[in-house]
Amino acid sequence: MTSRAIFWFRRDLRLGDNPALLEAIANSDEIVPLFILDPALVDDAGSKRLAYLSQSLRALDESLNNNLHVMAGDPVEILQKLSSRYSATEVYISAEFEPYGAARDARVEAAGIKLIQTGSPYAVAPGRVRKPSDGTPYKVYTPFYKAWCVHGWRGPVAAPKTIKSVQPTEEDRNFPDWQMPQGALVEPAGEQAALKRWKKFKDGALANYDEARNNAGIDGTSKLSGHLTWGEIHPRTLLAELGESKAHDVYRKEIAWREFYADVLFHNPHTDKDYYAPNFKNMRYEKPAKAFTAWCEGKTGYPFVDAAMRQLVLEGWMHNRTRMVVASFLVKDLHLEWQHGADFFEEHLVDFDVASNAHGWQWTAGCGTDASPYYRVFNPIEQGKRFDVDGDYIRKYIPELAHLSAPDIHEPWLYLDGYSHGYPERIVDHAVERLESLARLQEIKADKPLKE
Q: pLDDT tens-digit profile of 405-445?
A: 998 999 999 999 999 999 999 999 999 999 999 999 999 87
Mean pLDDT of 133-137: 95
Same-domain pairing of 148 and 254: yes
pLDDT of residue 371: 63
pLDDT of residue 184: 87
Q: Is the pLDDT of residue 228 over 70?
A: yes
Mean pLDDT of 174-189: 91
Last residue of a domain, one of 267, 299, 331: 267
Single pTM value for the model: 0.95
pLDDT of residue 234: 98
Last residue of a domain, one of 224, 246, 267: 267
**183 lies in some domain:** no
pLDDT digit string, tens, across residues 309-325: 999 999 999 999 999 99
pLDDT of residue 407: 85
Q: Which domain holds residue 418?
A: 278-444
pLDDT of residue 89: 93
Same-domain pairing of 328 and 433: yes
Same-domain pairing of 407 and 373: yes
**184 lies in some domain:** no
**362 lies in some domain:** yes
Find out whether 410 and 303 touch, Cβ atoms under 8 Å: yes
CB atoms within 10 A of CB 153: 18
pLDDT digit string, tens, across residues 344-363: 999 999 999 999 999 999 99
Same-domain pairing of 106 and 232: no
**228 lies in some domain:** yes
**Beta-ladder partners of 37:** 72
Q: Give just the sign of the alpha carbon dihedral 376, 379, 382, 385.
A: positive
Count of domains forming the chain: 3
Which region holds residue 31: left if phi is over 0, alpha if psi is between -120 and 50, else beta?
beta
Same-domain pairing of 415 and 286: yes
pLDDT of residue 449: 43
Q: Is the pLDDT of residue 275 over 60?
A: yes
**198 lies in some domain:** yes
Same-domain pairing of 352 and 391: yes
- pLDDT band per the 50, 70, 90 thresholds, residue 44: confident
Average pLDDT of the residues of the chain: 95
pLDDT digit string, tens, across residues 94-125: 999 999 999 999 999 999 999 999 999 999 99
**172 lies in some domain:** no
- pLDDT band per the 50, 70, 90 thresholds, residue 450: very low
CATH number for position 257: 1.25.40.80
pLDDT of residue 452: 35
Same-domain pairing of 371 and 285: yes
pLDDT of residue 451: 39
Q: Is the pLDDT of residue 373 over 80?
A: no
Last residue of a domain, one of 217, 245, 267: 267
**450 lies in some domain:** no
pLDDT digit string, tens, across residues 47-94: 999 999 999 999 999 999 999 999 999 999 999 999 999 999 999 999
CATH number for position 414: 1.10.579.10
Biggest CA–CA distance in the chain, Å, is 82
Same-domain pairing of 206 and 352: no
CATH number for position 29: 3.40.50.620
Mean pLDDT of 192-211: 97
Same-domain pairing of 306 and 422: yes
Same-domain pairing of 59 and 107: yes
Q: Is the pLDDT of residue 287 over 80?
A: yes
- pLDDT band per the 50, 70, 90 thresholds, residue 447: low
Find out whether 175 and 54 touch, Cβ atoms under 8 Å: yes
Of all residues in the chain, the percent with pLDDT exceeding 90 is 92
Of all residues in the chain, the percent with pLDDT exceeding 70 is 98
Same-domain pairing of 197 and 248: yes
Same-domain pairing of 418 and 297: yes
**262 lies in some domain:** yes
Alpha-carbon gap, residue 189 to 451, rounded angstroms: 46
